[in-house]
Copies of this chain bind each other. A is one copy, B any other.
Amino acid sequence: MKSYFTVIVFLYSCFWIPAQMLTAQSHDPEHHDRIIEFPDIPGLKTLKCDLHMHTVFSDGNVWPGIRVQEAIRDGLDVISITDHLEYQPHGADLPHPDRNRSYQLAVEAARNTDLIVLNGAEITRSMPPGHFNAIFLEDANALHQEDVFEVFREAKRQGAFVFWNHPHWTSQKPDGVAALTDMHVKLLEEDLFHGIEIYNGSTYSDEALDIALQHDLTLLGTSDVHGLIDWEYLPQEGGHRPVTLAFATEKSPNALKEAFVKKQTVIWFHNTLVGDEAFLTPLIEQSLVVTRQPGAMVETLLIENHSDADYILQNQSRFTFHNHAGVFVLKAHETTTVRVKTLINPDNFQLTFKVLNAFTSSDSHPVITLYL
């Protein structure tokens, strides 16, 4: 027996690449296109979060360490492992009684990296109320009980941040239209949940956004990944998982929780950003670096876009352009030349644009200003 136990150490160090090595690799150009990139905004750090994901410890298909490596490859700051409390299809093979186990294994895999891993769990009920994630948990096991209100109250006792998952999921709401039931209203009255997913996996809900705005809920966007991120968000399609951008005073669990409680989030999916103007406008403005090449009466601006979003701009000012019509795109990580007919060539003029792929509600857009 002894003979093959000595083998074990070699095997592990030889075959399985630990996450720390991956951190270094993630700076390689070949991985670059997976890194999600948005700038900080004045006074606040922009933290990229995916707060809904599964492992073999519920109905996912990978060991928790893979979720950590995927997150590092995507340049995330924060993940939460949120295995189903009540749904354990691999239970015959993994009869583990501890609902914190996948979190613990992820923490271990993330050691010596910058990734924050939050303890989380998915409360998995039929509708109403449907599924909810509780994150910043102390002990997930304590939430594994039958009475649903008691579960939410236990989460509150632990200081968890709780949000409603995929309220538009057609398996629970066949018309895909998110809507509050009486039970949801009661949960809200008791302050038992605080956020709502407007994007989950590959699905979006304008109605969930309406609910969030009406009931002052934090916006969330998550992958809810069960298989592999790479396969669901293909790199050759310029793909990325949906993320919640959280604006926090620093990169720490406490600052992050404060950001969620204060509703300081913007959701990034496909080529779309959704959030409060207070964060969305500076996020876009900070993405852009403008270099001015003064000309006699036609001024040339070079606008570098340092974000992953192709911004679709609609001109709102009285100036017209020598090389663009009134709607044009600032492509991600490219420099766009805009030639402005300044007419009287004012020393300080402003350009204002609606950003049409950014939303502050289901039918309104933020306006950005370029000060020159």
Within 8 A of B (CB), among A145-180: 146, 168-172, 174-177
0/1 string, A293-306, CB within 8 A of B gives 1:
00011100000000
Which among A75-83, A243-251, A254-262, A319-327 touches the partner chain? A319-327
Are B270 and A324 in contact, CB atoms less than 8 angstroms apart? yes
Nearest B residue to A232, CB-CB? B17
Nearest B residue to A102, CB-CB? B93
> Which secondary structure characterizes the binding site on chain A?
loop
Contacts of A54 in B (CB 8 A): 15
Interface contacts beyond A3-B126, A176-B341, A312-B329: sample of 20 additional A-B pairs, CB < 8 Å, sorted by A: A4-B124, A7-B172, A10-B171, A10-B172, A14-B169, A15-B54, A16-B61, A16-B226, A61-B66, A66-B227, A203-B323, A204-B323, A204-B325, A205-B320, A205-B322, A206-B320, A206-B325, A228-B230, A312-B312, A312-B327
Highest count of chain B CB atoms <10 Å: which of A271, A297, A325 = A325
Known: A177-B341, A234-B30. A89 touches B8 (CB 8 A): yes
Q: How far in angstroms is the closest Cβ of chain B from A214? A: 16
Tell me the number of copies of this protein.
4
The 9 closest A-B pairs by CB, nearest first: A10-B171, A175-B297, A61-B63, A206-B320, A4-B86, A176-B298, A176-B341, A15-B226, A3-B126
Are B10 and A343 in contact, CB atoms less than 8 angstroms apart? no
Contacts of A357 in B (CB 8 A): 325, 327-328
The range of chain A's interface size is 35 or more
Contacts of A230 in B (CB 8 A): 228, 230-231
Are B174 and A297 in contact, CB atoms less than 8 angstroms apart? yes
CA distance A10 to B320 in the complex (A): 24
CA distance A90 to B16 in the complex (A): 13
Are B94 and A59 in contact, CB atoms less than 8 angstroms apart? no
Contacts of A66 in B (CB 8 A): 61-62, 227-228
Q: How far in angstroms is the closest Cβ of chain B from A65? A: 6
Are A343 and B4 in contact, CB atoms less than 8 angstroms apart? no
